[in-house]
Amino acid sequence: MARRWFAAVLVAVVAGGCDRTTASRRVGIRQERIARTLADIGRSERARPAKLAAARAALRESAVRDAEDRAAHFANYERWARQSVERWQARGPVYRSEAARLLGPRPQRVPGLVTFD
């Protein structure tokens, strides 16, 4: 009796599960995901020209802005460099005397002491 009941349940489960097995369900899920991925790739590819045009415009604006900034700051840089050289020249004697004090009686033996004379 128990064997017949077990066989009946087994036949019912197998017969009921034949229409949509686990493998076929997984294949269906996989196909849906592949279709969704392909749709996403298609949308991305269709949007690519607009994104490229926006990037090109942003780069063009950045290049123009950088050129304007360099032109505006060149005068400041030139003034700063000139002031730096003038400061070194004005302080040359102080630098020499301090180097002589730190290096001892023969500072001429140390090469590369820059004073902008």
Tokens 């032109």 label which residue? Answer: 71
Domain residue limits at 61? 23-104
Residue 117's pLDDT is 47
Q: For residues 10 and 54, give the distance between their C-alpha atoms in angstroms, rounded to a whole number.
A: 64
Q: Is residue 113 part of a domain?
A: no
Q: How many CB atoms lie within 10 A of CB 20?
A: 10
Which phi-psi region, left, alpha or beta, contains residue 103 (left: φ > 0; alpha: ψ -120 to 50)?
A: alpha
Q: Is residue 59 part of a domain?
A: yes
Q: What angle do CA 47, 43, 28 make, to 5 degrees?
A: 170
pTM: 0.36
Amino acid at 26: R
Q: Is residue 65 part of a domain?
A: yes
Q: Is residue 115 part of a domain?
A: no
Q: Is residue 50 part of a domain?
A: yes
Residues of the chain with confidence (pLDDT) below 70: 1-20, 105-117
